[in-house]
Amino acid sequence: MRVGIATDHGGFALKEELVASLRAAGHDVTDFGAYALNPGDDYPDFVTPLAEAVVAGKVDRGVAICGSGVGASVCANKIHGIRAALIHDHFSAKQGVEDDHMNVLCMGGRTVGPAVAWDLVQTFLAAEYSDAERHLRRLSKVATLENS
């Protein structure tokens, strides 16, 4: 799978570990930065290009990280067509894709350890959207909100 990943300083170490794990698992990874640990950087500078790449189809799914994951989630969801969520548990990583067609997983580099993060990413990437009528109906309503 083509996976994009982005972070600011708050998730830099976690991003580096996830990039290595994703590549070792055979994924085609696009790293949107940060490329160095810089305490003065800002998550929108990295998360925005990631989200735009997901919408443009340049990557299949995205992983966005900041210190808590909240800012990355807020930022990603400002991009039309993104369905991002802050995820801390296995169930939500899977259900977010299956029911809500989540295309960007957000995590906190200061709140989720590397082993849990890797489990969440694997679960997110393995999940598939269900196309169930009720999910399509709900996403249509969300799209109406997004377009208004």
User: How buried is 148 (Cβ within 10 angstroms: 0-12 exposed, 13-18 middle, 19+ buried)?
Assistant: exposed
- Cβ–Cβ under 8 Å, residues 65 and 15: yes
Integer Cα distance of 107 and 1 in angstroms: 19
Active site residue 75: no
Distance of alpha carbon 28 from alpha carbon 32, whole angstroms = 13
Catalytic position from the list 3, 6, 34, 66: 66
Residue 130: how many other CB atoms lie within 10 Å: 15
Strand partners, 59: none
51 three-state secondary structure:
helix
Which sequence positions are flagged as catalytic?
66
